[in-house]
Amino acid sequence: MQTPENQELNDDELFEHHRVIASKGQEPLRVDKFLMNFIEYATRNKIQQSAKSGHIWVNGVIVKQNYKVKPGDEVKVLFEHPPHEFLLVPEDIPIDVVYEDDVLLVVNKPAGMVVHPGHGNYSGTLINALLYHVKDLPNNSSERPGLVHRIDKDTSGLLVVAKTEAAMTHLSKQFFDKTSEREYVALVWGNVQDDEGTVEGNIARNPKNRLQMQVFPDGDDGKEAVTHYSVIERLGYVTMVSCKLETGRTHQIRVHMKYIGHTLFNDERYGGDKILKGTTFTKYKQFVDNAFKILPRQALHAKTLGFVHPVTGEMMRFDSEIPQDMVECIEKWRHYSQHSK
């Protein structure tokens, strides 16, 4: 029997290997649907193609796409994807450069752009664009050239990129030491009670859905995460808030705000694409659906960024405009809240 460990691969093939253990509370679920919950950007068609190719195993046995996953099952899947060299091809993609000198640049990433190549996104990423703009970006331990930090695909806003090895080391240490400054603007469900506050709670992968992160308040799991928030404007059933990061964990603001009962507006992964506050009468539902169409992503923008320049030692601070889709959505809520009192 062939397993992922002993299967022979052709020289011109490269596979991406995922392994998931179904939790004790797992209800019977088709393996293709099960894997959709654990592999970011994997389409159901891609998973089904793997099944047809004999590249899905459960407990070491090849299964078809309609196999029902049970508690404790070990599920493994292999995907073909382009070789690593192909993933890092320079592409002539426009980027919004806010600042640039010999050692770094600051870019304003649009919503919808993936930061670095990975499964399901082999081109069109910010890294592809940066490699065209800067010929020799320094690599880091995760082989993501120039990247000091990241923001999610559907989050817009500011990123600093290193152009030299020395700048990479210097900037990375600032983010590790929590001396960099980052402020985000978010629109969240509900009327945030306190004008300001701090959310503390370790963050790690959700064991039942690996595409989600989760707060572990006891600190037994995950990594320390601290978010400071303050209310910018109350808009009835939603609130505009400022979030300042003390740490930089995956999905930190999205997870922390949900943890305190204020999921980001239209954050599909964490349930913010449902009507979470207000009434369900037809006109209100239609209003919210229209707001979702205006802002078809989580309402989150990395607005400001601050760090010490690696060479000059100067404190650099950058600010960006809230993008048009968020502005229009906020205006819509502002109008609604003023006329529904």
pLDDT given at position 140: 65
CATH topology of domain 181-339: Pseudouridine synthase (3.30.2350)
Mention the CATH class of domain 84-176.
Answer: alpha beta
pTM of the model: 0.77
Domains 84-176 and 181-339 belong to one CATH topology: yes
Q: Is residue 46 left, alpha or beta, with left meaning phi > 0 and alpha meaning psi from -120 to 50? A: alpha
DSSP per-residue codes, 171-238: HHHHHHTT-SEEEEEEEEES--SSSEEEEE-EEEEETTEEEEEEEETTSSSSB--EEEEEEEEE-SSE
Q: Is residue 234 left, alpha or beta, with left meaning phi > 0 and alpha meaning psi from -120 to 50? A: beta
Over residues 54-64, the pLDDT tens digits come to 889 999 899 99
Is-catalytic flag, 152? Answer: yes
- pLDDT of 6 > 50? The answer is no
Go through 137-157 and write b for each residue having 16 or more CB atoms within 10 A of its CB, e for each that does not. bbebeeebbbbbbbbbbbbbb
Annotated active-site residue in 152, 154, 267, 325: 152
Residue 13: which pLDDT band, with cuts at 50, 70 and 90? very low
Percent of the chain scored above 90 by pLDDT? Answer: 61
Least confidently predicted of 129-143, 273-287, 297-311: 129-143
Over residues 157-197, the pLDDT tens digits come to 999 999 999 999 999 999 988 899 999 999 999 999 999 99
> Both tokens of residue 128?
């592809």
Over residues 115-137, the pLDDT tens digits come to 887 666 677 899 999 999 998 88
One-letter amino acid identity for 140? N
Domain boundaries, given as residue ranges, for the chain: 15-80, 84-176, 181-339
Over residues 225-241, the pLDDT tens digits come to 999 999 999 999 999 99
Is the CATH code 3.10.290.10 the one for domain 15-80? yes
